[in-house]
Amino acid sequence: MLYTAFLTGGRRTLFLAFAARVAPAMRALDAGAEARALALVEDLLADRPARTRRELALFLWLVRWVPALLLLRPFDRLPPARQDAVIGWLQDAPLATLRSGLWGLKTLAFLAYYGSPETGEAIGYRPSKTGNTFLHAR
């Protein structure tokens, strides 16, 4: 079956809104960096079974619309503090399924930002093949 991109349309909008709360530095990425970040996620998902992508799509739907039951607006249209509250609630939700779903989504957001080789320099991570040279120079 032909793989079709996962993060398109509403899913892309929602994922970016979610990722901006989970890894706030995502907000500062320019268009090119953002595209590369999303490509990391897309490539990972492409290698996962279709069932995993279906579960993720369902969880994204829940994240988007369950807040509307209480707060009358979908996740991506909530103010940031409310979005954080939703994420925080899911992270400590009584159901392990919700917690692990949130963990999975968070992991993709972290992959988008921290998985990029460009991020290392910004966070003080500069490995070298000859690390002992730096170690001995301390």
Partner 1 sequence: MPVSRARPRESVRNPQTSAGSAGPRTARPARERRGATGSPPFGKLRAPRAESRGARATGPGCGAEPHVIKDFDIVIVGSGAGGGTVAQALGPLVRDGVRVVVLEWGTRLKEEEYTGREVEMATRLYFDAGGFLTRDRTMTLAFGRAYGGSTVVYTGTSLTIPEATVARWGVGGLTYDDLARRSRKYLEENHVHLLDQADINDNNRLFHDACRALGYRVEQFPINVRGCQGSGLCNLGCPNAAKMGTHRVQLPEAERQGVTVVTNCRVDRVDLDGRTLHVEVRDPGFGQPSSWTPGRYRVRAKAVVLAAGAVNSPALLLRSGLGSRLPALGRYFTCHPALILVGQHARPITNYHGHPKSYYCDHFAQSHGFLLETCMYFPFVTAKNLAGFGEAHQRLMSHMDRLQMILVLAIDPARADNRVTIDRDGQPVVDYTLAAETKRALVDSMRASARIFFAAGAERVHAPAGVKFLIEAAERDRIDELIPYEGLRPGKASISSAHLMGGCRMGGGPADSVADAWGEVHGVPWLFVADGSLFPRCAEINPYVTIMALADRVAERVRERIGTLRAG
Q: Interface residues with partner 1 (CB under 8 A)? A: 1-3, 21-25, 39-40, 43-44, 46-49, 84, 87, 91-92, 96-104, 106-107, 109-111, 113-115, 117, 119-120, 122-136, 138
CB nearer to partner 1: pick between 64 and 83 = 83
Residues 6+ apart with CB under 8 A from 33: 116, 118
CB nearer to partner 1: pick between 32 and 117 = 117
How near is the Cβ of 38 to partner 1 at its closest, in Å?
12
CB nearer to partner 1: pick between 44 and 66 = 44
Cα→Cα distances 44→85, 114, 131, Å: 28, 14, 29
CB nearer to partner 1: pick between 72 and 86 = 86
How near is the Cβ of 63 to partner 1 at its closest, in Å?
13
Residues 6+ apart with CB under 8 A from 7: 15, 38, 41, 42, 45
DSSP-H helix ranges across the chain: 9-22, 31-46, 50-71, 80-91, 96-114, 117-122, 131-136
Backbone φ, ψ for residue 130 (5° rounding): -110, 60
How near is the Cβ of 23 to partner 1 at its closest, in Å?
7
How near is the Cβ of 20 to partner 1 at its closest, in Å?
10
